[in-house]
Amino acid sequence: MKEITLDLLNSGCWNNPDEQRACDTVSPDAACVGHPIVNNSTFFCCCRGNLCNANLTEGTFVLSSDFLDTKDVSADYISSDYRTQTITIALSSVSALAVIIVIVFLVYRLRCVPRDAPNDPFFLGEPLSTPLFIMEDLHTTHLIASGRFGTVWKGQLSSVPVAIKVFSPAQRQYFTNEQDILNLPHMTHVALPKFYGAGERESVDGIPEYLIVMEYIESGSLTEYLRTHTLDWIKLCRMMYSAAAGLAHLHADFTKADKSKPAIAHRDFNSRNIMVKADLSCCLVDFGFATRIDGCHFYRNGQEENAEQTSLSDVGTVRYMSPEVLEGAVNLRDCEASLKQIDVYALGLVIWEMAMRCTDLFQGLTTPEYQLPFQAELGLHPSFEQMQVWVSRNKQRPPFPDIWKDTNQAIRALKETIEDCWDQDAEARLTAMCVEERALDMTTLWENRHKGTPATHR
């Protein structure tokens, strides 16, 4: 037997006659043998006889040999087992927490964040599964136009005449993009079409069709209008002003009533994508190539795209492409400014088209027949390579007639505005808002000239 010093917790008489364990002696002088309980951390002893535990005043008693032989091993085992249990519990807790976090994240991604629109603060959700109108109230009447990216029909929505753009499954990305643009906040503007909604239906052949329903504009496109009509100076300025105002609204980014409108580049601005209203103001249409822009970020089909990995010359009409697009030299570090400048270049060509049909500019001479930009030089179907050489390398632009005299301040302002729009240096071009302001100025300049009142051009 070996002795060990322990703290005495309690002592007294044992009142349970049935409990006989560890009662090893009847002699009051004999040592009380301690037996372990409670995981070997507490011990007790009992003895038979009067005052047999009186010798424990020093807190000294004898441990059983079985315990002493296994003490070191048991202690190590207990310590090791405790550490193992602690580590197991900790790892289990961390693992369970990690699993919960992963599950919550996946649920959030699947249910709260659209998978095709990462980091897109303006994303409005998936394409509408149901239209904003009752499909049974929509009826098509006759075909207006068709092209590579869809067809346009005149129709009736209840009793309201509407234009219906129809996209096939192969053209769905253009439908998605146009719907995304038209659904943005603050897209209501006099120079933009009223949007009634978008939807999906089956054709008579059972093939899905995707529909964009918009305001119907009777006079048709600016191209067709100019082909059959001439303008006076006031009508020219009205068309020029409204076209620039519509483009300026697209280009603007602002927040109103807690809703933000991002800057938008049209990317296919031309006279075919401008409609002429009954009051001869212009209305911009066809946003299949349009993109939301924010500094070096731009978004199409509800998804952010990398400007450095996406060609910015793969869309649009070749005839209206700017020199930097034709050369593949668009500034990708600030694609917002670059894409706006590309639109303004095309605006300059459109204003030239309008001006070439203005009778006041030809002072009694016959107004030339309508022509597209560069039609006289390159024909009706110029190739990309022809435009690249003519516009980018040779720096050619549509000519001004000799009769447009610089002595007339209003005409000089018109020519300067057109030239400032299609400048070879993209950064030197006007903004759409500046063109809008100049159109107002030119109306005043013309009126003052005919009244004999001097005026100063801004």
268 is catalytic: yes
Distance (Å, rounded) from C-alpha 314 to C-alpha 329? 13
Cβ contacts of residue 67 below 8 Å, gap of 6+?
34, 35, 36, 40
What is the token pair recorded at 70? 């296994």
Distance (Å, rounded) from C-alpha 160 to C-alpha 138? 9
Which of these is catalytic: 268, 286, 343, 423?
268
What's the first-to-final CA gap in the chain, in angstroms? Answer: 114
Cβ contacts of residue 64 below 8 Å, gap of 6+?
33, 34, 35
Residue whose pair of structure tokens reads 């822009």 in the numeric block: 293
Nearest to 285 by CA among 338, 223, 231: 223
**Are 411 and 405 in contact, with CB atoms under 8 Å apart?**
yes
Provide the Cα torsion 255, 261, 265, 268; round to 10°: -140
Beta strand pairing call for 297-300 and 138-147: unpaired
Distance (Å, rounded) from C-alpha 397 to C-alpha 255? 38
Catalytic residue ranges: 268
